[in-house]
Structure 1
Amino acid sequence: MESQLAFLAVCLASAASPGPGGLAVVSNSINHNLRRTLPVIFGIATGLLLASLLANTWLLAVIHSSEWAFQIMTWLCSGYIAYLGAKALYQANSKMTLAAHGYSFKNGVLISLLNPKTLVFFGALFPMFIPDSGHFVRYATLLTLELVLITFLIHIVIASAIDKVSHLLQHHLVAINRATGVMFITLGISGFIV
């Protein structure tokens, strides 16, 4: 029971902490509305499911067998996050920025799947909550579903709250899109440093 409560606390902290997925939800909610943010939220949830499947099968084996493979994977993922930031920053004044155009389901999947925080979560933290009782698949499935549900609900709450005040932020979209780009670049760079 204590392990389950600890896992729920970790899931809440992970989902609520700033990261590429949360940033995409916030940015999309400011630039659009809750209804247009739902595809990216569903994409993030789908990406988490895929990341869990990959991490708990071959990817986990590759990463644990070679520190170099893990480092390369982290750099590729960080590069993608930094690329999204550079693209948002480059197009901040344009009406066609990624944020202004809106993040899609596909963006949500890729952001979640290629987020270094997701790799670390499933590769290092996740196994700590699976008991050695021989029921790995059952526990991994249950914990993954809990993580996805908590992340989904937190993103819905965030998007709903921002949807209520987004009309106040509409006059500052260029600054918000620039800040979004800088934050994505910062998150991407942090993956190269850590």
Structure 2
Amino acid sequence: MEFVIPGTANLGLFVVAAVALLLVPGLAVLFIVARSVEQGRLAGFVSDLGIHSATLVHVLAAALGLSAVLASSAIAFSIVKYVGAAYLIWIGLRKIFGGSKGGDAEATPARHSYRRLYRDGFLVNLLNPKTALFFLAFLPQFVDVSRGHVATQIVFLGLVFTGLGFISDGCYALVASAAGKWLKQSRTYLNFERYVSGVIFIGLGLTAAFAGNHRK
């Protein structure tokens, strides 16, 4: 089976959007920060590896679930596109108006084996339905149907996102191992993160809804 990737323009937009999203701390980052604060950088990296191993599972699921639908019908593609855009906007609104929960990143002080850290990171991401829905909403926005092989394009975009995510979350592990405690406990930081991430998600949703893909 031929492996097709999106066009240069779509790929460039995807990388910019992915980096913007990954710079916003979310559940995975808070989990990595907590583990890094507790047990050091290596623990953070192992947790990072577990989380993004599960990301690959979500990418594969998105590719298998969407490829036939997106390739078969312009109407079906538009439905996925606009439902996905609405979902991204809803995430942003919920982040802004839903309040912050400072206790989400709290963890027990006990030290865990690296095998346990990997397993916990994997399960945290694998069992989070929001991650699966996010990929269903986000990846199709950057697929070029005219190039064909929609499934392989989605897999490629997912691999790029996973690689960027592993690197960015690894940077959080580095910082958190030395100075991450205030990220986990500061109410000011949590409020700031809530508004910034909300605006970014809303902006991505509006861009996805109104950007000209011009598919026939």
TM above 0.5, yes or no, is yes
Task: Give, in whole Å, the separation in 1 of the partners of 2:77 and 2:151.
Answer: 25
Partner SS, residue 164 of structure 1: helix
Alignment partners' CA distance in 2, 1:86 and 1:42: 31
Q: How many aligned residue pairs are there? A: 177
- 1:17 maps to 20
What corresponds to 2:134 in structure 1? 114
- Whether 1:171 and 2:178 are equivalent positions in the alignment is no
Distance in 2 between residues matched to 1:83 and 1:58, nearest whole Å: 28
The structure 1 residue matched to 2:144, chosen from 108, 127, 133, is 127
Give the 3 Å change call, closer, same or farther, for CA 69–80 of structure 1 in structure 2.
same
- Partner in structure 2 of residue 36 of structure 1: 47
Of 30, 55, 63, 1:52 maps to 63
Matched to 2:196, the amino acid is M
Unaligned runs of 5+ in 2: 36-43, 108-119, 210-216
CA offset at residue 25 of structure 1? 4.2
Contact 1:15 1:22 in 2 (8 A): no
Alignment-derived partner of residue 181 in structure 1? 194
Aligned amino acid, residue 198 of structure 2: I
After superposition, the Cα gap between the structure-2 partners of 1:77 and 1:170, relative to the gap in structure 1 and judged at 3 Å, is: same
Contact 1:20-1:111 within 8 A present in 2 as well: no
- Are 1:154 and 2:164 an aligned pair? yes
2:152 corresponds to: 142
DSSP-derived class of the 1:16 partner: helix
Distance 1:67 1:4 in 2: 18
Cα distance in 2, alignment partners of residues 15 and 162 from structure 1: 16
Classify the secondary structure of the residue corresponding to 1:90. coil
The aligned amino acid for 1:181 is R
Instruction: Give the superposition deviation at 1:165.
Output: 1.5
CA contact (8 A) 1:40 1:107 kept: no
Report the TM-score when normalising by structure 2.
0.58
Secondary structure class of the residue paired with 1:114: helix
Which amino acid in 1 is paired with 2:157? L
- Distance in 1 (CA, whole Å) between partners of 2:127 and 2:78 is 28
Code of the aligned partner of 1:127? D
The whole-number CA distance in structure 1 between the counterparts of 2:206 and 2:163 is 30
Equivalent residue letter for 2:140: F
Aligned equivalents of 1:4, 1:68: Cα separation in 2: 20
Code of the residue aligned with 1:13 in structure 2: it is V
In the alignment, the residues of structure 1 paired with residue 151 and residue 157 of structure 2 have an alpha-carbon distance, to the nearest angstrom, of: 10
1:26 CA displacement: 3.6
Q: 1:21 to 1:181 in 2, by over 3 A?
A: closer
* Structure number with bigger Rg: 2
**2:86 — aligned with what?**
75
What are the Cα deviations for residues 49-77 of structure 1, in whole angstroms up to 9, with x where unaligned?
32333332236767725867754453345
Aligned amino acid, residue 62 of structure 2: A
Using the TM superposition, give the Cα deviation of residue 126 of structure 1 relative to its aligned residue in structure 2, in angstroms.
0.9
